[in-house]
Amino acid sequence: MSITHKLPYEWQIGLRYTRAGKRSGRNSFISFISMASVAGIALGVAALIVVLSVMNGFQKEVTNRMLSMLAHVEIFDARGALPDWRATSADALRHPEVRAAAPFLDAQSMLLVDGVMKPALLRGIEPTEEARVSDIVQQMREGSFDSLRPGSYNVVLGRALAKSLGVGVGDRVSLLVASSGILGGAASPGENPLPRSRALTVSGIFEAGHFEFDSTLALVNIADAETATGATAPLGLRLRLADLQQAPRVAYELQQSMAGDLIMRDWTKVNTVWFAAVQSQKNMMFIILTMIVAVAAFNLVSTLVMTVKDKQADIAILRTLGASPRGIMKIFIVQGTLVGMLGGLLGVGLGVLVALNVDVIVPAIERVLGVHFLSQEVYLISEMPSELRWNDVGWIGGVAVVLSFLATIYPSWAASRVKPAEALRYE
């Protein structure tokens, strides 16, 4: 005996109705509408999986590239400078989550080469300590990071910034920076507000893969930065943690345990607007694409209404044989839900296949059409990323099945209300 013969009669008839259109010319149009519903659900589910996977990948890729240069936690002194940074660093390193600390000094500046002037964020660093809190050494493309020795007035530029200035390793650039240009600080009363000028030698070029850093960041030794800006101490400390996801908690704990009037800022606060915007866009895309799935799912209403109309004689015979209204309702709920499950499974398969191969499919489309979908200046990255999350796949498939089930309720209820005598009158 086959498995289908062991099922309740509602399931057996519902399965038969789902397959009947292929063998019956009478039901071919109903079958076409049913297959269109399956295709619509499948395409909607696949689109939702692919779009969310790309947005997940975009968020992860940009976050990783940002964190390759951003500190997990930054420590500032409320007075505007951190003169005893070594003691503060030793205090921070007592926390079990803190792995490394490095001083830094940021200042807004301009770089000038042969009449070409570009804005830059001048960052003074201690090369040895900086290598422990960022991935800058691995991102060097030309020159040497160790060239940033005190008094050398060497500078390491982001690749996009160096390209816009038209300079390479060994070239000279002019630095213009105001004393009051130090981030977090201000010029003292009577201090000369005129910009300071200093000649720098390009000793290296890095590429973080994040356009914001590659196009604006200029790294020098912190001693040279202090001389160029007139500062007397680092602006703050950059910390690297064992687990970057614990940054908000660690920042709070350091705030409570460390002495002095210190200000803590974790990486989630640096780009709060960006992260909030990406999450908001992801939520909106989920809602919009779910509507596409809903439209396809509710096409089942018309399919089942026509099926009920066509099967009125069958319904009447079943009722005369003792089938209850509830049993009749179950038949059409089974039929509609199976169509929704079939569309959902096909959509999940197609969506997962595309999401796992976005890195191959998108470049192929770009070559065929001769276009480039992501401009690095706008989207910060130039390649289409994708990260498939199985909990997203589960949610999307579940939503498709639930919407399909909801779409079956009214037609199934209408089928249960069919009166046998009226249905058989003209048969």
Same domain, yes or no, for 354 and 312?
yes
Q: How many domains does the chain have?
A: 2
pLDDT at 111 over 90: yes
8 A C-beta contact, residue 230 and residue 88: no
Same domain, yes or no, for 18 and 101?
no
Q: Give the integer Cα–Cα distance in Å for 415 and 193.
A: 84
Q: Give the integer Cα–Cα distance in Å for 222 and 128.
A: 11
Among 203, 233, 260, residue at a domain's last position: 260
pLDDT of residue 282: 79
Type of residue numbered 354: V
Low-confidence winner among 9-18, 42-51, 229-238 (lowest mean pLDDT): 9-18
Same domain, yes or no, for 92 and 150?
yes
Residue 72 lies inside a defined structural domain of this protein:
no
Structure tokens at 158: 């982001």
Residue 270 lies inside a defined structural domain of this protein:
no
Structure tokens at 280: 């908001």
Which range marks the domain in which residue 122 is found? 79-260
Same domain, yes or no, for 88 and 193?
yes
Q: Is 288 exposed, middle or buried (0-12, 13-18, 19+ CB in 10 A)?
A: exposed
pLDDT at 370 over 80: no
Same domain, yes or no, for 151 and 31?
no
Distance of CA 279 to the CA centre of its chain: 8
Same domain, yes or no, for 236 and 370?
no
Q: Mind listing the pLDDT tens digit for each residue in 19-55? A: 655 444 555 655 677 777 788 888 888 988 888 888 8
> At 55, which helix (H) or strand (E)?
helix 28-67
Low-confidence winner among 159-173, 179-193, 331-345, 400-414 (lowest mean pLDDT): 179-193
Which value, to the nearest 10 degrees, does the dihedral of the CA atoms of residues 297, 355, 68, 269 take? 0
pLDDT of residue 331: 79
Residue 201's closest CA among 139, 159, 147? 147
Same domain, yes or no, for 43 and 108?
no
pLDDT of residue 420: 65
Whether the model clears a pTM of 0.75, i.e. scores above it, the answer is: no
**Residues of the chain with pLDDT > 70: what percent?**
83
Residue 300 lies inside a defined structural domain of this protein:
yes
For residue 264, which phi and psi values (nearest 5 degrees)? -105, 140
Low-confidence winner among 1-10, 19-28, 132-141 (lowest mean pLDDT): 19-28
Same domain, yes or no, for 203 and 285?
no
Place 104 in a pLDDT band, splitting at 50, 70 and 90: very high
**Residues of the chain with pLDDT > 90: what percent?**
24
Type of residue numbered 146: D
Average pLDDT over residues 183-200: 62
Residue 256 lies inside a defined structural domain of this protein:
yes
Same domain, yes or no, for 387 and 241?
no
Residue 306 lies inside a defined structural domain of this protein:
yes
8 A C-beta contact, residue 232 and residue 83: yes
Average pLDDT over residues 55-67: 79
pLDDT of residue 388: 87
Residue 340 lies inside a defined structural domain of this protein:
yes
Residue 346 lies inside a defined structural domain of this protein:
yes
pLDDT of residue 402: 85
Same domain, yes or no, for 317 and 395?
yes
Q: Give the integer Cα–Cα distance in Å for 152 and 220.
A: 9
